[in-house]
Amino acid sequence: MGFYNNIGNSAIEFDLTRIIHPVGQGAFYSESFNGNNFNFLAIYDCGGDKISIERELNYLAINRNSIDVMFLSHFHSDHMNGIPRILAKFKEGIKDFYFPFLTPELFALDVVYNYLVEGKDSISNQFLINFIRYFFDSKEKEIKEKDKKSYSNIKNVHVFKGERVVVSSIESVWQYELHRPNYLHTPTDKIKSLLLSIINEQGLVDSITKDYINEETYDQLSVVIDNSGDFEKLKERFLQEFKGEQNQYSMMVFSKKSDRIELLGGSPCNRCNCLYTGDVPASKSTINIVKSIDYDIIQVPHHGSIKNYSKDLYKDGTYAFFSAGKNNRYGHPDLETRQHLLGLCKYNPLVTEEPNSRVVLEYIFIGSQLNKVELINNNII
Ligand SMILES: [Zn+2]
Ligand SMILES: [Zn+2]
């Protein structure tokens, strides 16, 4: 699938600016390409601290009114709560939007999680129930009129079900390879029993694990949760018992130059192919996929949580970056992860909400050569 089919051959000259945005406890990465006859913006995840996201989006929106492609790793708020801001900021919205498929059970789990963490009016839940749901549910023929209006500037939606797909985003120049290592993971019974312990009403649990939660069942859910006793205790138990479960289905994206090129020598940050991992667990299937990918730069999964750490994900001298909020309540990144990676990787910046933790990598390509790489001043914004 090509967005720009007429860009021409590999003698093209272009530059890429890759930014690891400082958004606190969340994840937001962008890649803007500029060439003689093209201009392209790709985003992987957009969630975190609201003020920081606003600032970063203001910068990206200078001279642009659309995002060419957006990839959403999974449906946790810290990866997606910036999406309504994107839609408000970029008048032409998002041209191609990719996200992973969920079963009704997993969808219910995400909605309940967001509810407990952010309350009924959770931005993420509005988006899930009023938009995303329609693309999972084969029974839903048409998006409701009011929802159509709210999300009309998301043009093409692509639900990623399988294991691997290549999106040739800028024909002959750049590709995005989508991977979902644990797509077969379906902890149905576990989910049902957990939901039942939280929601405490068999009928509702049956209905939301059979069908995708809609506005009506969301209202019922809210009444049941709010009447079921100590909200804080429920939340604690839920977070404890089900920690990390929803990260299982994270969609990874490998961003790479179409032809593998002879690169500048020296440090790995002089190379350009980047693997974005969302909050993916370090399972066997993840490790197998990562080992088969010839990446130069990698996002440390799940904000550097030790639970998602395996030395097998990393190569000697790699550039591995972390995104996490300063003093966040989850204790990300784990000290242990950082120490391991300090030994393994030459570069391992921690990007927080501090503007001066921003990482900006600028690459200039001429033909199939990468001619120049610069780490620009963090404070460009
Ligand atoms: Zn997550
Ligand atoms: Zn996360």
Separation between Cα atoms, residue 355 and residue 346, nearest integer Å? 22
**CATH of 13-99+168-180+251-375 given 3.30.960.10, 3.40.1360.10, 1.10.10.1100, 3.60.15.10:** 3.60.15.10
Q: Which residues contact 270 (CB under 8 A, 6 or more apart)?
A: 263, 264, 370, 373
The more confidently predicted of residues 193 and 285 is: 285
347 exposure class (CB count in 10 Å sphere: 0-12, 13-18, 19+): middle
Q: Which residues contact 232 (CB under 8 A, 6 or more apart)?
A: none
CA 282 to ligand 1 center in whole angstroms: 13
How large is the average pLDDT for residues 297-325?
93
pLDDT at 370 over 90: no
pLDDT at 226 over 70: yes
Cβ–Cβ under 8 Å, residues 44 and 253: yes
Cβ–Cβ under 8 Å, residues 299 and 293: no
Nearest ligand, CA 301: 2
pLDDT at 2 over 50: no
CA 261 to ligand 2 center in whole angstroms: 32
Q: How confident is the model at residue 320 (pLDDT cuts 50, 70, 90)?
A: very high
Highest mean pLDDT among 118-127, 144-153, 229-238, 342-351: 118-127
CA 37 to ligand 1 center in whole angstroms: 37
pLDDT at 7 over 50: no
Where does the chain have alpha helices with state H? Answer: 50-60, 77-80, 83-89, 104-118, 123-127, 133-136, 145-150, 188-199, 202-210, 215-226, 231-241, 284-291, 335-344
pLDDT value at residue 184: 75
Determine which helix (DSSP H) or strand (DSSP E) holds 371, and give its type and residue range. Answer: strand 369-375
pLDDT value at residue 153: 93
Residue pLDDT, tens place only, 101-137: 999 998 998 999 899 888 999 999 999 999 999 999 8
For residue 187, whether the previous peptide bond is cis, meaning omega lies within 30 degrees of 0, is no
Chain position carrying tokens 């030994």: 343
For residue 242 the two structure tokens come to 């089900």
How large is the average pLDDT for residues 34-57?
93
CA 60 to ligand 2 center in whole angstroms: 22
CA 14 to ligand 2 center in whole angstroms: 32
CA 75 to ligand 1 center in whole angstroms: 7
Q: How confident is the model at residue 254 (pLDDT cuts 50, 70, 90)?
A: very high
Per-residue burial over 164-198, b if 16 or more Cβ lie within 10 Å, else e, is eeebbbbbbbbbbbbbbbbbeeeeeeebbebbeeb
pLDDT value at residue 11: 56
- Which residues are close to ligand 2, an ion, with C-beta < 5 A? 78, 279
Q: Which residues contact 51 (CB under 8 A, 6 or more apart)?
A: none
Percentage, residues of the chain above pLDDT 70: 91
pLDDT value at residue 200: 82
pLDDT at 8 over 50: no
Based on C-alpha coordinates, what's the Rg of the chain? 21
Residue pLDDT, tens place only, 255-308: 998 876 555 555 555 678 999 999 999 999 999 999 999 898 999 999 999 999
pLDDT value at residue 193: 84
The more confidently predicted of residues 75 and 247 is: 75
Nearest ligand, CA 109: 1
Chain position carrying tokens 């001298």: 317
Cβ–Cβ under 8 Å, residues 153 and 93: yes
Helix, strand and coil percent figures for the chain, each rounded to 5 = 35, 25, 40
Nearest ligand, CA 332: 2
pLDDT at 245 over 80: no
Which pTM does this prediction carry? Answer: 0.92
Cβ–Cβ under 8 Å, residues 159 and 101: yes
Q: How confident is the model at residue 187 (pLDDT cuts 50, 70, 90)?
A: confident
Separation between Cα atoms, residue 96 and residue 178, nearest integer Å? 14
- Nearest alpha-carbon partner for 193 in 105, 111, 272: 105
How large is the average pLDDT for residues 29-56?
94
pLDDT value at residue 186: 73
- Write down the domain spans for the chain: 13-99+168-180+251-375, 102-160+183-249
**355: three-class secondary structure by DSSP:** helix
Residue pLDDT, tens place only, 71-106: 999 999 999 999 999 999 999 999 999 999 999 998
Nearest ligand, CA 281: 1
The more confidently predicted of residues 56 and 379 is: 56
Q: Which residues contact 233 (CB under 8 A, 6 or more apart)?
A: none
CA 76 to ligand 2 center in whole angstroms: 6
pLDDT at 233 over 80: yes
CA 302 to ligand 1 center in whole angstroms: 7
Nearest ligand, CA 79: 2
Nearest ligand, CA 303: 2
Nearest ligand, CA 25: 2
The pLDDT mean for the chain works out to: 87
